[in-house]
Every structure is written in C-alpha cells, then in structure tokens.
Amino acid sequence: MHIYSAIGCIEIAVPGKWGYRCTGMSFLNLMRVFLAALYDGLDKQSGKVFKKGIGNFTGFNSFEDVLKAWQHQIKYYTRKTVEIDTAVDTALEENVPDILCSAFVDNCISRGKTIKEGGSKYDFISGLQVGIANLGNSLAAIKKLVFEEKKITKEQLLFALENNFEGEDGEKIRQLLLNFAPKYGNDEDYVDLLLKDAYMEFINELEKYHTTRYNRGPVGCKYYAGTSSISANVPSGAVVPATPDGRKAFTPVAEGSSPSSGTDLRGPTAVFKSVSKLPTKKIMGGVLLNQKLTPATIRKDQDKKKLISIIRTFFEELKGWHVQYNIVSRETLLAAKKNPEKYRDLIVRVAGYSAFFTTLSPDTQDDIIARTEHLLI
C-alpha cells in the first residue's frame, strides 16, 4: 500500500524510493518542501504544484520573503503528514491489530483493546523529518550570500541549482555556498538559530493535531517531531535536485540531526552545542546524532576519559538526547567496501540500528564513509 504526499512517501511494510513506512509514521523530505517554496509551490522533480506558493525566488525582495514562502509550504505539508498518519493508523487498526505487541503494553489487556484501538496508557506519535542540516545550511547560504553580501544573485543561484552546478560558473557558485556560508554543526548561532526557527514552523503547526485515539482512553494522543530518519536520508536525497547548501542533485541529504557530512569542522563538542540549540524538548520522536571516531582517537586511557567527559557534558549540561558512535577508520571502511569477503564481521552503527557493513547498499556505505572523522582535542 502506498500513500503519497507531494514530498514524502508513506508505505506499509514496503520500502520505496521516497521513504519508508514500517510502524505508523510519516517521512517528510524537508528539502523537497524548501525547493518548492523557492519555486512558487512547484515541485521541480514531479513537475506538479501541490500547494500554490507566494511567488518565485527571483521575485523575493528580502530574506523575510524566503521565510514566508517556507512557512506557507511547511504548514501545508505538516497537515499532509498528519493526514497520511491518520490513513495508516486507520488501516492498521482495521487490518493489523498487532495483538502480541499490544499484550505487552500497559492497559491494553485491561481495556480489551489493541494499541491502535486506544488500549495503551500513553499515546504519542512522531513522524520523521529528513534533511535537517541541509535546511539550516540552505537558509544560511541564501541569507548571507544572496541578500547580505550579494556575492550570488537570485538568478545565478537558481540557474546553478537547475543545472546541478555544472560548468565553471556553476562550480564557482557551489564553492561559495560550501565554503563562505556558516554551516550547522560548528556552534554558529547564525545558522543554528535559523534552523531552529524554521523547524519550529513545522512543530508549531503539528501541535494543532491529534491522533485517531483522541478521546478513546490514552493519555496524550498528540503528534511530535522526530529526526530519527534511520537511513532514509539516502533514498530521500535520491529524489532531491541540487540544493542551496551546495549539495549536488540526488546525493544523500543529512541524516538525523547530524551535520551534513564534512561540514562540521570544529570538533564533536561544537556539534553537540549546535544540536542542543534545536527545540529538543519538542522533538520527542528522537534527536538522532551520529559521530565517527578513528580507533586511534581513544587508544589511550586519558582519551577514553575525555570522551566520557564530553558525552556526560552533552547529556547533563546541554540536555542532549542521543549520540551514537562508529569507531572505525575511513581506510577500514574503504577496504571493506572493496573486499567485502574479508570484512564480513565488520559491524557499524547506521542510524538507530547496527548492521554488518558489507550487507548495506553501496549508497549507504558511501554515506557512512563520508561522515566527518572527529578528533578529541
């Protein structure tokens, strides 16, 4: 069963090119929404207008117009995620009662109802939003390079995006976007707070809705944001054209709440501080953060203590929710991809789950290899 919104795909137990659907949650591709905001509501990939915009980027007079266009689109697609979740929850209630799971959830047996019928004591649902870092980086690049410093015109930016940064001029613009605008993950308020405010537009709209179990017994029955996109950042990126953060067309978008690969240049503590500026108390569906260290980084006992210290600070002082590590060198991962038969026992942390590296798709392998390797300084 496939239920499509303009930007995301919701599926019941079936993987698809726009996302995944397994247990009742929507996947929202934030960068497809953002690009639609720049093109007066036109989704360039499908050629369809699902929500008429407020104008084309070339006609915007200020960065405030960009934010208004984003607000206009994200409110529409937020409601669509709720509609999709409602359709899926209804289908699950009618056709997939999941009696075994319900038997282990408080109050289902005493109420004589399954989870989807309202048997559980608590009921909170979170969809997943994909491409968090790309959204923040794109906003920062447009604000700084187009409207403030005027290093790139609106027309030049759109032309570069539509041509995937091809040619000398396209690559020049891409390098400006990559290297001369602040990037999320480096503890820079300029981009971090832009991302927070843009994400809050989604969260504030989401708080208006409730689940199908509302007034049927459970406490809550509300929707929450979630960044635990598992490995959906790879297929999600595969349907997104080039974006204003310098990302090339159809390449992976950033996973979870992690920075875009290679853009977090100030170490793991700067990443922690950027993540902590997100509205984490409202992201009940998970604030998934991946980090990668080389084995040499924690070879000494003092280095292990240093890692323990920064993790403790992240959770106790910055109120972090989650961080998971791959402690493996880039060279090992490249060797495993080239000679998988020699590395069949190599396990990596993907995004919310672990897997044998050699069993992952080549695109997912490349995405893990591309993650920034941090040092403990």
Q: Where are the alpha helices (H) located in 224-327, listed in sequence order? A: 233-237, 268-276, 301-316
Average pLDDT over every residue of 52-79: 98
Are 267 and 254 spatial neighbours (Cβ–Cβ below 8 Å)? no
Per-residue tokens: 2: 């496939």
* CA 235 to each of CA 9, 135, 147, 304, 363: distance values in angstroms, whole numbers, following the listed order: 11, 17, 32, 35, 9
Q: Is the pLDDT of residue 294 over 90?
A: no
**Span 108-159, pLDDT tens digits:** 999 999 999 999 999 999 999 999 999 999 999 999 999 999 999 999 999 9
What does the pLDDT read at residue 291?
Answer: 93
Give me the chain's average pLDDT, please.
91
- Among 68-72, 126-130, 230-234, top mean pLDDT goes to 68-72
| Residue 67: pLDDT over 60 | yes
Quote the longest CA-to-CA distance of the chain: 68
More confident site: 161 or 328: 161
* Per-residue pLDDT, 76: 98
Is the model's pLDDT at 11 over the cut of 60?
A: no
Residue 247, CA atoms < 13 Å, CB-side half-sphere: 31
For 239-268, write each residue's pLDDT tens digit: 999 999 999 999 999 999 999 999 999 999
Give 337-344 contacts, CB < 8 A, sequence gap 24+.
337/362, 337/365, 337/369
pLDDT band at 296 (very low <50, low <70, confident <90, very high): confident
Supply angle C-alpha 49, 53, 57, rounded to 5: 110
pLDDT (tens digit per residue) in 159-206: 999 999 999 999 999 999 999 999 999 999 999 999 999 999 999 999
| Active-site annotation holder among 9, 93, 108, 255 | 9
For residue 235, pLDDT beyond 70:
yes
Q: What is the pLDDT of residue 24?
A: 54
**DSSP secondary structure, 53-116, as one string:** -S-BGGG--SHHHHHHHHHHHHHHHHHHHHHHHHHHHHHHHHH---HHHHHTSTTHHHHT--GG
Q: Which residue has the higher pLDDT, 376 or 265?
A: 265
Helix H or strand E encompassing 48: strand 48-49
Which residue is listed with tokens 């009662």? 97
Going by C-alpha positions, the residue among 225, 229, 59 that lies closest to residue 134 is: 229
9 annotated active-site: yes
Is residue 11 part of the annotated active site? The answer reads yes
* pTM of structure: 0.89
Cα 344-348-352 angle, rounded to 5 deg: 135
Q: Read off the pLDDT of residues 260-285 as tens digits, 9 standing for 90 and up.
A: 999 999 999 999 999 999 999 999 99
Selected residue with higher pLDDT from 160 and 2? 160
CA distance 73 to 66: 11
Nearest to 253 by CA among 3, 14, 28: 28
For residue 13, is pLDDT > 70? no
Q: Name which residue leads in pLDDT, 374 or 166.
A: 166
Residue of 11, 93, 188, 255 with catalytic role: 11
* pLDDT value of position 353: 84
